[in-house]
Amino acid sequence: NAGVTQTPKFQVLKTGQSMTLQCAQDMNHEYMSWYRQDPGMGLRLIHYSVGAGITDQGEVPNGYNVSRSTTEDFPLRLLSAAPSQTSVYFCASSDRDSFTYEQYFGPGTRLTVT
Amino acid sequence: GIQVEQSPPDLILQEGANSTLRCNFSDSVNNLQWFHQNPWGQLINLFYIPSGTKQNGRLSATTVATERYSLLYISSSQTTDSGVYFCAVGTTTDSWGKLQFGAGTQVVVTP
């Protein structure tokens, strides 16, 4: 199993540009989430999904869109990048049927908006 | 929403020392997990522990749900234990995919 994969690892955008951060998991997990991590802070939830076709907002959803057309993929779209979106983005997945409900994280995408 | 507070914010240990990290939360939870973020940024799940006690090697964790806190114990610390330790919780009204993170405890283990 590759686990949770994220692409790209690094990205630099100019203000106003749009882009999609990719996230995929091969563990057949129902739950997937996107978090952002800013310096000195914990992770904050952006959007999450409890299964294909179902998404919901987290704590900081503004400026981001998600969709979940398959169990495996959960892309995060930045509509019009702003310097405040400079952050490290983590995708995570967890198994609804797992007794442990552990969240597995991808390696992260470091995004800089200039 | 639920508040999650971790203490201490920073901890410097000599190799071989023991330590206790604390996580306080403001509401009932049905999901509590401890994570370690290594110096390269990778987040690893250490424990799923909404109540009770678990041990995994030199690490152990205890959650007292009725008193709304959890403790992570590191014994005989090693330099590889360095990094940030996060506590994250999910409340009884939230989905399993939705976790609220604390700000973390930065641990540095010196040789």
Q: What would the DSSP string read from start to end of A39-83?
A: TTS-EEEEEEEEETTEEEE-SS-TTEEE--SSSSB--EEESS--G
pLDDT at A76: 98
**What are the pLDDT digits (tens) for A68-99?**
999 999 999 999 999 999 999 999 998 876 66
- Are A105 and B42 an interchain contact pair (Cβ–Cβ within 8 Å)? yes
Report residue B94's pLDDT band, with 50, 70 and 90 as the boundaries.
Answer: low
B98 touches chain A (CB under 8 A): yes
How close is the nearest chain A Cα to the Cα of B21, in Å? 15
User: Chain B residue with minimal CA distance to A100?
Assistant: B48
- For residues A44 and B100, give the distance between their C-alpha atoms in angstroms, rounded to a whole number: 7
Question: With a CB-CB cutoff of 8 Å, which residues 17-36 of chain A face chain B?
Answer: 31-33, 35
pLDDT at A51 over 80: yes
**What are the pLDDT digits (tens) for B53-71?**
999 999 999 999 999 999 9
Determine the average pLDDT of the residues in B1-26.
96
- Are A31 and B1 an interchain contact pair (Cβ–Cβ within 8 Å)? no
